[in-house]
Amino acid sequence: MVLQLFLDTANIDEIREALSWGVISGVTTNPSLVAKEKRDFKVLVKEICDMVPGPVSAEVISLKSDEMISEARALSRIAPNVVVKIPMCVEGLKAVKVLSQEGINTNVTLVFSANQGLLAALAGATYVSPFVGRLDDVGNEGMDVVEDLVILIENYGLPAKVIAASIRHPMHVIEAARVCAHVATVPFKVLENMTRHPLTDIGIVRFLDDWAKVQDTFDK
Ligand code: G3P
């Protein structure tokens, strides 16, 4: 199994930059991230889908299952790599059941317990997204939900994949990998921080200094 990294953003520049690093294989968005971009939702989703050679999650905003299903069908027509994000609730489960029968990929979001995630997986979700950072914020151990959910899904051979979401810092990514999350979706800032280490910066400077000293000798 390979840990996949998705980028958690709706910003085209961030997606373009992260894709050029060769490390991300999908994108997740949510209504808050899309709202920040101040662009037409469907046009933006289409642009992201054309750039990303992997799943792109776009969220419905309806709260009734029949409306979620209509929204999901429309989103899925934008591009073949659209994954429809559905909020975890009874209406959401109903929608996931229908959509999975239609072959539309879903990502059940706002999951805060292993039971919620289990229900989403049983209903036919393609992805289930426990929110690690928001659980940590209220004094719970967010990664425990990811770990429990991975165990449940693996024990019973359910086809859903677990996305560790609401990732706030690089250690969350390591912890997600330790508990065998299938995917971690990370904001661009976290991805940037994952590239850095002060000893790398010091090492680069020292190598170049040493190199320049010798070159100076030969140049004289
Ligand atoms: O897509 C869900 C995730 O991005 C939420 O993150 O930081 O708003 O809790 P956050």
Which pLDDT value is given to residue 220? 63
CB 107 within 8 A of CB 83: yes
> For residue 129, which atom of ligand 1 is closest to its CA?
2
> For residue 134, which atom of ligand 1 is closest to its CA?
9
Task: Answer whether 59 contacts ligand 1 (Cβ < 6 A).
Answer: no
Which pLDDT value is given to residue 200? 98
Which pLDDT value is given to residue 21? 98
pLDDT digits 0-9 by tens, 47-62: 999 999 999 999 999 9
> For residue 133, which atom of ligand 1 is closest to its CA?
9
Within 49-191, strands assigned E span 56-59, 82-87, 106-111, 127-130, 161-164, 183-186
Which pLDDT value is given to residue 72? 98
Q: In whole angstroms, what is the distance from residue 14 CA to residue 9 CA?
A: 8
Task: Answer whether 9 contacts ligand 1 (Cβ < 6 A).
Answer: no
CA of 200 to the centre of ligand 1 (A): 30
Task: Answer whether 131 contacts ligand 1 (Cβ < 6 A).
Answer: yes
Q: In whole angstroms, what is the distance from residue 178 CA to residue 80 CA?
A: 31
CA of 111 to the centre of ligand 1 (A): 11
Query: Which regions of the chain are under pLDDT 70?
Result: 219-220
Residues with a catalytic annotation lie at 85
CA of 195 to the centre of ligand 1 (A): 21
Q: In whole angstroms, what is the distance from residue 27 CA to residue 91 CA?
A: 25
List the structure tokens of 141. Answer: 């151990």
